[in-house]
Amino acid sequence: MTAQLMTGTDLAKDSLDRSARRTRDLLRETGVRPCLATVLVGEDLGSVTYVAMKRNRCATAGIDSRHVPLPVATTTAELVATVRALSDDPSVHGILLQHPVPAHIDERAAFEAIDPAKDVDGVTMWSFAAMAFGHLGFASCTPGGIMRLLDAYGVDPAGRRAVVVGRSPILGKPMGMLLLARDATVTYCHSKTVDLPAIVATVDIVVAAVGRPRFIKGRDIKPGAVVIDAGYNPGNVGDVDFEGAMERASLLTPVPGGVGPMTIAVLLEQTVDAAVRHAASVAASR
Ligand code: NAP
What sign for the dihedral angle of Cα 26, 33, 264, 173? Answer: negative
Residue of 64, 98, 119, 173 with catalytic role:
98
Task: Please tell me the pTM assigned to this model.
Answer: 0.96
Query: What 3-state class would DSSP assign to 28?
Result: helix
What are the beta bridge partners of residue 39? 68, 97
* SS3 of the chain: helix, strand, coil, percent, to 5: 45, 15, 40
Quote the ligand 1 centre to 211 CA distance (angstroms).
4
Quote the ligand 1 centre to 130 CA distance (angstroms).
23
Domains 30-116 and 141-259 share a fold: yes
Neighbours of 3 (CB within 10 A): 22
Separation between Cα atoms, residue 204 and residue 221, nearest integer Å: 9
Residue of 119, 121, 220, 241 with catalytic role:
121
Class of the CATH domain delimited by 141-259? alpha beta
DSSP secondary structure letters along 70-129: E-TT--HHHHHHHHHHHHH-TT--EEEE-SSPPTTS-HHHHHHTS-GGG-TT--SHHHHH
As its CATH architecture, domain 30-116 has: 3-Layer(aba) Sandwich (3.40)
pLDDT value at position 136? 87
Domain spans, the chain? 30-116, 141-259
pLDDT per residue as tens, the chain (286 positions): 799 999 999 999 999 999 999 999 999 999 999 999 999 999 999 999 999 999 999 999 999 999 999 999 999 999 999 999 999 999 999 999 999 999 999 999 999 999 999 999 999 999 999 999 989 899 999 999 999 999 999 999 999 999 999 999 999 999 999 999 999 999 999 999 999 999 999 999 999 999 999 999 999 999 999 999 999 999 999 999 999 999 999 999 999 999 999 999 999 999 999 999 999 999 999 8
